[in-house]
Amino acid sequence: MLRCNMKRPVIVIGGPTASGKSALAIRLAQALGGTVVNADSMQLYRDLPILTARPSPADERLAPHALYGIWNPLETGSAGRWLGLLADLLEREPDAPLVITGGTGLYLEALLHGIAAVPDIPADIRAEVRSLPPAALHRILSEEDPAMAVRLRSTDPQRLMRALEVRRATGRSLLAWHADPPARIDIGVEPEGVALLPARDELVARIGRRLDQMLAAGALDELAAFLAEPAHADSPLLKAVGVPEFARCITDVVPPAEALAAAVISTRQYAKRQVTFLRHRLRALQPCAGFGDDLAVQEAVSARILSRFR
């Protein structure tokens, strides 16, 4: 167990993309005199702040922020690594209230329910596995870890690579690691949490407007500069929601309007998956039918949550 047994307010805010998580987090951090902590896998990176919807400098002046923009573009993240970063933060700031927010459900699940304690994968094994032909991954995994292979689709290369690299690095199946007691951070308190779940039609409209705003703010120029660096071709940032569609626009494969339409569709699909995850795997977070930047929602959530810490 990652030890950090300290009494302090800890609030968790989940929600799909464009649901106003950051605005609510800032409001609560201001009220508590605390820090907004990032739980979004793409916002950990220093690059592409517009396309990853990282809090703006103006937002960051409203309350302290942590774990935003700290990684170079080639670093590899995971829920376990994020949990370690959070444990370090808790140790450095033993008294500060924390408002943890982000759209990466696996990170929030790791905090609330723990995570399989799989060791870090050595770089050479990771590179070896990720150089294998995608079409051969399922066959290779079937030979080396048949019990895990039967649980995965041959069309899911990310999970196949993860299972194979864990098997090769540890000598154990990912199934065995998942059967072990999960690693957790002991934060000494039961986190108070909320899941923002606005109406679907309103969220869809909000997603379209936010992508338009990103483009107006220079998202394509930001991405073009990033893609101009050859080393960035292997960056996990290129898998961020909306980035593959806009990248095709920059390479002149598709016109900007078509790229925007495709990005809207992929972002809607991503939001739908986030909502499903929240409802089925993060039930500890109390549902809230609204947007986090709505003043009425902020007041209602603040009144309920802050009453615990007064």
215 conformational bin, left if phi > 0, alpha if psi -120 to 50, beta if neither: alpha
Q: Report H helices in 217-242.
A: 219-227
Residue range 251-261: mean pLDDT, rounded: 89
pLDDT digits (tens, 9 = 90+) for 155-166: 888 889 999 999
Intervals of CATH 1.10.20.140 along the chain? 123-179
CATH number, span 123-179: 1.10.20.140
Give strand ranges (E) for the chain: 2-3, 10-14, 35-38, 65-66, 98-101, 185-186, 192-196, 286-288
Residue 4 has pLDDT above 60, yes or no: no
pLDDT of the residue at 192: 83
Type of residue numbered 169: A
- At 76-108, the pLDDT tens digits run 888 888 998 998 998 888 888 999 999 999 999
Statement: residue 57 has pLDDT above 90: yes
Average pLDDT over residues 106-113: 92
The C-alpha atoms of residue 142 and residue 160 are separated, in whole angstroms, by 10
Residue-wise pLDDT for 9-27, tens only, equals 889 999 999 999 999 999 9
Residue 144, pLDDT > 70, answer yes
pTM of the model: 0.86
pLDDT at 168 over 60: yes
Supply the pLDDT for residue 3: 36
The pLDDT, as a whole number, for residue 116 is: 82
Cα separations (Å) of 203 from 19, 253, 292? 7, 29, 12
Q: Which top CATH class is 2-115+183-309?
A: alpha beta
pLDDT given at position 260: 95
Q: Residue 47: helix, strand or coil by DSSP?
A: coil
The C-alpha atoms of residue 1 and residue 185 are separated, in whole angstroms, by 6
Rounded Cα distance between 273 and 125, Å, is 30
For position 310, what pLDDT does the model report? 63
In the chain, CATH 3.40.50.300 covers: 2-115+183-309
| pLDDT tens per residue, range 194-239 | 999 999 999 999 999 999 999 999 999 999 999 999 999 989 999 9
User: Has residue 59 got a pLDDT over 50?
Assistant: yes
Q: Which of the residue ranges 17-26, 49-58, 190-199, 286-295 would you say has the lowest mean pLDDT? A: 190-199
